[in-house]
Amino acid sequence: MKKRDFLTIRDFTPTEIAALLERAAEFKSGMTSGDKPLFGKSVGMLFYKTSTRTRISFEVGIYQLGGQPLYITQGQSQLSRGEPIADTARVFSRYLSGIVIRTFEHNIAAEFAAYSSVPVINGLTDTHHPCQIIADLMTIKEKKGRLEGIKIAYIGDGNNVANSLIEGALQMGMDLAVASPEGYEPSPGILKDAASRITVVTDPKDAAAGADCLYTDVWISMGDKEEEIADKQSKFAAYQINGKLLSYAKPDCTVLHCLPAHRGQEITDAVIEGPNSAVFDQAENRLHTQKAVLEMLIK
């Protein structure tokens, strides 16, 4: 059987995503506690970036599926001394049944996958965060009972989360309005394929109007340069999810944030701790959806 990778949301069909969400719900319910599809298998976790949710959820998920997680930082490998990615990928493939990579440039993950003979899962790159979005879709389905026709308003930086959210919305028939300052929109390459269900605006109120879900992420990302940080802090001041912005959405609007949150910047403490918030359910669902992804890909 030809190995499959999970580098972007589009690597799974809508039917496969729906099946992943069903399987994740089974994992969450505890129905499958005896299932050990990774028994006797080792999964490498190659991280160029620090992590809380991605690292812990994958380590715990691999263990709960009966496998052995191996956490490796770039600095702990010969990559830090200039070993080519292609060589590292081929060596890892001789030892491991699968690889999770969390890195900067997306082409690093793509090159790793090209030379790996075992499945490679994107734990985050600068332009895509597909594992996060699968968990988000699970959370929205839990709260709203469906995905098709749901309106999400994403407020803030058009970053990797926004890019993958666009792809997820298109795959699952959702409406998405993105509100970002000029110059900080999602990647043009992602937007050029976006259907009429995706709109990009500059006014957060326009995006939030009638939304079923409000979603935000940090304004400052790992790797941002000092001058960009200063520019963002001035331009993003009007893009905070607060009580006023929440009032433009539906009364039962679900608030999402992939965490970590900078409370008082992109979201207020009152909103993240308020009755509309599902951010900690969202964080928990990383575990369940990643177990479903691991089970699907690693045979």
Catalytic residues: 102, 129, 132, 217, 258, 286
Q: Using CA atoms, how far apart are residues 265 and 261, in angstroms rounded to an integer?
A: 8
Other Cβ atoms within 10 Å of 243 Cβ, number: 10
β-pairing, 198-201 vs 175-179, is: parallel
Rounded to 5 degrees, what angle do the CA atoms 289, 90, 292 make? 10
Q: Identify which of 193, 189, 187 has the alpha carbon closest to the alpha carbon of residue 169.
A: 193
Q: Using CA atoms, how far apart are residues 242 and 170, in angstroms rounded to an integer?
A: 27
Rounded to 5 degrees, what angle do the CA atoms 265, 175, 246 make? 35
For residues 21 and 285, the answer to whether their CB atoms sit within 8 Å is no
Q: Using CA atoms, how far apart are residues 261 and 165, in angstroms rounded to an integer?
A: 18
What residues contact residue 4 under an 8 Å CB cut-off, 6+ apart? 11, 119, 297
Rounded to 5 degrees, what angle do the CA atoms 115, 42, 112 make? 15
What residues contact residue 228 under an 8 Å CB cut-off, 6+ apart? none
